[in-house]
Structure 1
Amino acid sequence: MKKKTYEELIKESPVTYDMYANMEDDGNRYEVSDGALELMSPAPTPTHQSVVNELQYKFNVSCRNDYIIYSSPIDVILSATEVRQPDLIMIHRSRVEIIGSKGINGAPDLVVEITSKHSRRQDKVQKRIVYAKYGVPEYWIVDLSNFTLEQYVLDRDRYDLTEVYAEDETIRSKTATCASFSMGEIVRSLPVQPDKIN
């Protein structure tokens, strides 16, 4: 079967995971949102990548005995027509069966998105609705404009914003109780401080 290009696939509806997985590699990253192929925003900034790395390090130090931790790019296949690439995910070791050969087949226990000016609306509105719909128990949004962490916990089919953490307030996950750190620790651990970046 001939691999299709992005231009060919966006004309098709709905786009499924199989179509997406077999598309021509053009060097870009995509997600499938309700059967529509979406081009992801520009490459992450150094600060974004450093925050992802620091979060992953913190989780690995305190949670790796109980959780498997992945950072993007990794496909989270929520349904045949909903495929996301969160910045960071955690899966409890009792649920390893959702880890497949091509991606994660179902909802992780915790999803983290690091938001930027390009992705703020998508992370705070669209993805919040999607992750709740597919049963992700806890969703964090890290906002790089003010280095805060918004913690959303699933209540039936919608998220409640349970806390907004900043500076040295200790972040405590409702799902991954092993996690314990602050945004201040994350910021101070960055190799280049945000105010020093041009």
Structure 2
Amino acid sequence: MNVAQLLAHSPGSRGYRAADLRALPDGGPRYEVIEGCVQVSPPPSVAETVVWRWLANTLEVANRGSPQIVDRGQPVRIGVHDEVRPDVVVAQVALAETTPIPVGALTLVVEVVSSTSALRDTVTKRALYARAGVPAYWIVTPRRRPPDVEVTELRRDAATGAYAERTPATSARFSTDHPWPLAVDVPALADLWSVLAPSAADDWEVV
């Protein structure tokens, strides 16, 4: 079944289910379902996957024996009508062979913003991950003119259930203690991005 065939079928009263994604082919576009609505993203570019890899590697190198694991592009089950594919996740190692990963196993989600995902990453998923109880969320925003990268580190406030900025959007190096102590060298990522940006497709630009 392809996405057109799926959408030809009437969803239930609350929309499509996460289980409906199982009928779609692997590879190609990335499919998610959020609040019963199917979201389709284009396949990631080389530039995008390089940024994901850098972020995942930064997290992995700083990990010193934590019972958690870093992964990229894994489906995450939030509820019957919600299943997403974050760019990078940190999850309990006990769930390493479980897919989709249950959202309760996550300690950090990282999303890299593109022109097709800006609203979804900064508004929709921010609210979704907070409601689901994910303790921390990073929003990574590459820009092309001039080439630069900003990272926003959000932490969930247990009292309000919403995210608050632990590190506001920054292009500078910053340190954090979650999911373990590490320094995030944002200028180094920006240097890498400046090499990739001239060859990146125009529709990947975030302004």
| TM-score bin, normalised by smaller chain | 0.7 to 0.9
**Would you say 1:39 and 2:40 are equivalent positions?**
yes
Distance 1:64 1:55, change over 3 A: farther
Runs (4+) of structure 1 moved beyond 4 Å?
none
TM-fit CA distance, 1:149: 0.3
Q: Which amino acid in the other structure matches residue 68 of structure 1?
A: I
Find the aligned partners of 2:33 and 2:22 in 1 and give their Cα distance: 10
Q: Which residue of structure 1 lines up, in the alignment, with residue 203 of structure 2?
A: none
Q: TM-score under structure 1 normalisation? A: 0.84
Q: Residue 166 of structure 1 contacts residue 182 of structure 1 at CA under 8 Å; is this kept in 2?
A: no
Residue number among 185, 189, 198 corresponding to 1:186 in the alignment: 189
Distance 1:110 1:26, change over 3 A: closer
Find the aligned partners of 2:194 and 2:142 in 1 and give their Cα distance: 14
Residue number among 3, 8, 30 corresponding to 2:5 in the alignment: 8
**1:32-181 residue pairs with structure 2 within 5 A?**
32-40=33-41, 42-63=42-63, 65-66=65-66, 67-72=68-73, 74-93=74-93, 96=94, 98-99=95-96, 101-107=98-104, 108-145=106-143, 146-156=148-158, 157-173=161-177, 175-181=178-184
Distance 1:100 1:16, change over 3 A: farther
Distance 1:113 1:7, change over 3 A: same
Distance 1:92 1:80, change over 3 A: same
User: SS of 1:144's equivalent?
Assistant: strand
Equivalent residue pairs, number: 188
Q: Which runs of 5+ in 2 are unaligned?
A: 201-207
TM-fit CA distance, 1:182: 1.6
CA displacement, residues 160-197 of structure 1 (integer Å, 9 cap, x when unaligned): 12212534422314x31332222012233x28714543
Q: Which amino acid in the other structure matches residue 56 of structure 2?
A: Q
Q: Which amino acid in the other structure matches residue 89 of structure 2?
A: I
Q: Which residue of structure 1 lines up, in the alignment, with residue 204 of structure 2?
A: none
Distance 1:103 1:161, change over 3 A: same
Q: TM-score under structure 2 normalisation? A: 0.80
Distance 1:79 1:25, change over 3 A: same
User: SS of 2:163's equivalent?
Assistant: strand
CA displacement, residues 128-182 of structure 1 (integer Å, 9 cap, x when unaligned): 0100010010000000014010111101311112212534422314x31332222
Distance 1:178 1:6, change over 3 A: same
Find the aligned partners of 2:4 and 2:128 in 1 and give their Cα distance: 25
Distance 1:181 1:166, change over 3 A: same
Aligned-pair Cα RMSD in Å: 2.3
Identity of aligned residues (%): 22
